[in-house]
Amino acid sequence: MNKVVLVTGSSIGIGRATIIEFAKNNCNVVINYNSHKKEAEELEKYIKSNFNVETMVIKCDISNEIEVKIMIEKIINKFKNIDILINNAAIEVSSSFEEKTVNDFKKILNVNLIGTFLVSKYVSKYMLKQKKGKIINVASNNAINTNDPNTLEYDASKSGVISLTHNLSKYLAPYISVNAVAPGWVETKKIKELDKLLNEEFIKEESKKIYLKRFAKEEEIASLIYYLTTNDYINNEVIKIDGGTY
């Protein structure tokens, strides 16, 4: 029987690549989105055309507890279980320290940290019933090393995700393993669209700081995420995948 995988924020970027990686490995996939409906539907069509797996597309704001509960109930009603959860959904507000507001900070924390907590809470309830499951949280190497102080609220949220990973791995043991990946710069269309500072010159300069002299590809992050779900003895780990930096 195919495993069932929920990837939050999976219509674009790393999430999209992760959905494809799991579908390629014969897993039924749940595509979650909040604002990128068109991309989510296009991804589902791509999966159905290329892989013999079942799919589901669900709109959900993961910072909204009621919406999260409804999303998980819909998945359980269709698939009866959730084997793997990838907490990938995240947002970032690009602004200088002086321009940041309390609302900006709260918005980031609500999605990146509280959203990860909420989805983990409601999914783990069913994983504990079946006494098995895997949770992978997508953090950031910014949570480990300060890269740019102007992303301090994003970095703080991802530091919280790392702390959440350690706590959940202990609380949900021995049935559910919880790990995190901490990517560095990733070459995604989303990043370039969200941050106009990420022009070719900036990418060139940042690449010089990386031992491998380039940004990661989305697929490289996705393959690590998939691997962590295939190994039953890796738990409570935060694995940097940044090409060697700092």
* Pairs from 228-236 (Cβ < 8 Å, separation ≥ 24): 228/134, 228/136, 228/179, 228/181, 229/5, 229/84, 229/134, 229/136, 232/177, 234/177, 234/179, 235/169, 235/173, 235/177, 235/178, 235/179, 236/165, 236/166, 236/169, 236/170, 236/177, 236/178, 236/179
Spot the catalytic one: 154, 171, 233, 246: 154
Spell out the residues 6+ positions from residue 204 whose beta carbon is closer than 8 angstroms to its own: none
- Which residue's entry shows tokens 């780990």? 237
Q: Is 154 a catalytic residue?
A: yes
Q: Does the N-terminal peptide bond of residue 183 adopt cis geometry, omega within 30 degrees of 0? A: no
Q: Which helix (H) or strand (E) holds 182?
A: strand 176-183
Q: Which residues are catalytic?
A: 154
